Amino acid sequence: MEDLPEALVTEILKKITRTSDLNSLSLVSKQLYKIEGNQRGAIRVGSGLCTATEALTSLCARFPNLQKVEIDYSGWIPGHGNQLDNKGLFVFSSRCSSLIDLTLSFCSYIDDSGLGCLAYCKALVSLRLNSAPQITSIGLFSVAVACTSLSALHLIDCEKIDSVEWLEYLGRDGSLEELVVKNCNGINHHDLLKFGFGWMKLQKFEFERKRGRFDDIITGSEVYDSSYDAHSMNIYDFCCESLKDLRLAHIKTWPEIGLRVLLGKCKALENLWLEYVLALNDNDLIAISRSCSSLKSISLGLNLQRYSSDVQYCETRTSFTDNSLYALALNCRMLQIVDLKFTGCAPDWLSEIGFTQKGFLVLIQSCPIRVLVLNTANFFDDEGMKALSSSPHLETLELILCEAVTDGGMCFIAHTPCLSNLTLRLCHEVTDVGVAELGHAHKLKSLVIECCSKVSLQAAQGVTKLVHYSRDFSDALLKTVGWSDA
Q: For residue 446, what is the enclosing H or E element? A: strand 446-450
348-389 pLDDT tens trace: 888 899 999 999 999 999 999 999 999 999 999 999 999 999
Per-residue pLDDT, 2: 63
Q: What is the pLDDT of residues 245-272, one digit of tens each?
A: 999 999 988 877 788 989 989 999 999 9
- Report CA-CA distances (Å) from 180 to 280, 476, 483: 21, 23, 25
Q: What is the pLDDT of residue 486?
A: 37
Structural domain spans, the chain: 1-39, 41-210
pLDDT at residue 127, rounded to an integer: 97
| CA–CA dist 100, 145 (Å, integer) | 16
Asked if 208 and 166 touch (Cβ cutoff 8 Å), the reply is no
Separation CA 69–CA 42 (nearest Å): 6
Helix (H) or strand (E) holding 471: none
Q: CB 461: neighbour CB atoms within 10 A?
A: 14
pLDDT at 18: 73
Q: Write out pLDDT tens, residues 175-231.
A: 899 999 999 989 988 889 889 889 999 999 999 998 754 454 445 578 898 988 988
Length of the chain: 486
Which tens digits make up the pLDDT trace of 139-174?
999 999 999 999 999 999 999 998 889 999 999 988
Q: How many CB atoms lie within 10 A of CB 4?
A: 11
Our separate counts of H helices and E strands in the chain read 16, 19
| Cα separation, 264 vs 229, whole angstroms | 11
- The residue among 392, 394, 286, 391 whose CA lies nearest residue 330 is 286
Distance of CA 322 to the CA centre of its chain: 26
The one-letter amino acid at 18: R
Question: Sign of torsion, CA 200 204 210 212?
Answer: positive
Q: Report pLDDT for 46.
A: 78
382 — phi, psi (to 5°)?
-65, -35
Backbone phi, psi, residue 374, to 5°: -120, 120
Specify whether the CB–CB gap between 305 and 317 falls below 8 A. Answer: yes
* SS3 category, 448: strand
CATH tag for 1-39 (out of 1.20.1280, 2.40.10, 1.10.760, 1.10.3470): 1.20.1280
pLDDT of residue 309: 72
- CA 321 to CA 354: how far, in whole Å? 4
DSSP state of 224: E
Q: Please spell the DSSP secondary structure of 363-432, one letter per residue.
A: HHHHS---EEEEES-TT--HHHHHHHTT-SS--EEEEES-TT--HHHHHHHTT-TT--EEEEES-TT--H
Q: So what's the pLDDT on residue 456?
A: 95
Query: Could you count the other beta carbons within 10 Å of the beta carbon of residue 78?
Result: 7
Higher pLDDT, 337 or 483: 337
CA 147 remoteness from chain centre? 26
The Cα 387–Cα 397 span in angstroms is 14
Q: Is a pLDDT exceeding 90 seen at residue 22?
A: no
Calculate the CA 195 to chain-centre distance. 22
Identify the DSSP state of 83.
P
The pLDDT assigned to 305 comes to 92
Quick check: 275 and 319 in contact, CB under 8 A?
A: no
The answer to whether residues 184 and 153 touch, using CB atoms and an 8 Å cutoff, is no
Nearest to 206 by CA among 148, 281, 140, 153: 153
Exposure letters 125-138 (e unless 16+ CB within 10 A, then b): bbbbbbbbebbbbb
Nearest-5° Cα angle at 396, 204 to 418? 125
Q: Is the dihedral of CA 9, 11, 16, 22 positive or negative?
A: positive
CATH topology of domain 41-210: 3.80.10
* pTM for the whole structure: 0.88
Query: 483 pLDDT band (50/70/90 cuts)?
Result: low
The average pLDDT across 31-45 equals: 73
d(CA 264, CA 246): 12
Q: Parallel, antiparallel, or unpaired for β 223-224 and 313-317?
A: unpaired
Please report, as a single letter, which amino acid is at residue 187. I
Please give the DSSP secondary-structure letter assigned to residue 107.
Answer: -
Where is pLDDT greater, at 34 or 434? 434
pLDDT at 7 over 90: no
DSSP state of 436: H
Beta bridge partners of 305: 317
> Judging by DSSP bridges, how do beta strands 271-275 and 313-317 pair with one another?
unpaired
